[in-house]
Amino acid sequence: MAAPLLQKNSTLPILLYHTPRYPLNRPFTGHSYFRTKSFSLLNSSKMEAAEITEEVERKPAGEDMSSKKKIFVAVATGSTGKRIVEQLLAKGFAVKAAVRDLDKAKTALSHENPALQMVKADVTEGSVKLAEAIGDDSEAVICATGFRPGWDLFAPWKVDNFGTVNLVEACSKVSVNRFILISSILVNGAAMGQIFNPAYIFLNVFGFTLVAKLQAEQYIRKSGINYTIIRPGGLRNDPPSGNVVMEPEDTLYQGTISRDQVAEVAVQALAYPEASYKVVEIVSSPNAPKRSYQDLFGSIRQK
């Protein structure tokens, strides 16, 4: 039987709880987030939708799912964004990679791939310039931005709030109606009764990062765009070490996941209508059963 868990409406300080099903297997390190059935932190990463009109054929993982659709990825040189670009290209998608520094991007991305187009774009510069970068040849946008921790307390709002809003407004200008956002677990920690959660407190020290992300999510949900909001647990740079666990919003406050798996979830969200208009929270566990992405997304009932 699972160990006890704090209820969502609990106002008590968080203790370390876990279940035998999803064991704790990593220590608290760096900038990480926390989750409900096991407990962790999420790294703040460096800055690193016309709906897809052709139905993507569902094929086994590893096969071409794209029919050569062009996907706009912002920001493509970040730790997670780079992996998203690589996986999109591996699936046969054409990719428009939004970067702030073209020279740096050429060393970070496989720029010789003919399916990859790099464009200079900064989400903080407004929706008009972003609309020009997205153009009329993009069919979906994946937002994998994240502010760089520092002394600028407005950075989370410039990037994770205003930057995300700018992208959604730009999508509207060019009639892109598919939008996938990489957010984080615990963004709605206060409503979950996690106001005393050390991770919630720690991350909001950096300019109320989680509050900025949550308000951006709320804007997306009210915009009418076809969205999938992905909230990963603590981000790891190492390869996957377990299977993806997917839960509804405001469920997780601990757990970790490889950035490779986060990228995979984002790419797979393009393939399945079950992913549309949903907020999902993800971690990984070696004890979790391997499930298809159609099953994972289909299991989530949106509030």
Please tell me the predicted confidence (pLDDT) of residue 19: 34
Q: 83: closest CA among 186, 236, 273?
A: 236
Rg, C-alpha atoms of the chain? 18
- Do strands 140-143 and 116-120 pair parallel, antiparallel, or not at all (unpaired)? unpaired
What are the tens digits of pLDDT across the range 167-181?
Answer: 999 999 999 999 999
Angle between helix 209-223 and helix 164-173 axes, rounded to 10 deg: 20
Q: Which 3 state secondary structure label does DSSP give 10?
A: coil
Q: Report d(CA 111, CA 104) in Å as an integer.
A: 11
Please tell me the predicted confidence (pLDDT) of residue 17: 29
Q: What are the backbone angles phi and psi of residue 284, rounded to the nearest 5°?
A: -130, 155
Please tell me the predicted confidence (pLDDT) of residue 10: 39
- Do strands 234-236 and 226-232 pair parallel, antiparallel, or not at all (unpaired)? unpaired
Q: Report d(CA 61, CA 73) in Å as an integer.
A: 21
What are the tens digits of pLDDT across the range 67-87?
Answer: 457 999 998 889 999 999 999
Tokens representing residue 66 in the block: 């794209």
Sorted by sequence, the CB contacts under 8 Å of residue 150 that are 6+ apart come out as none
Please tell me the predicted confidence (pLDDT) of residue 34: 34
- Do strands 116-120 and 94-99 pair parallel, antiparallel, or not at all (unpaired)? parallel
**Does the domain formed by 70-298 have CATH 3.30.465.10?**
no
| Regions of the chain short of the pLDDT cut 70 | 1-68, 147-152
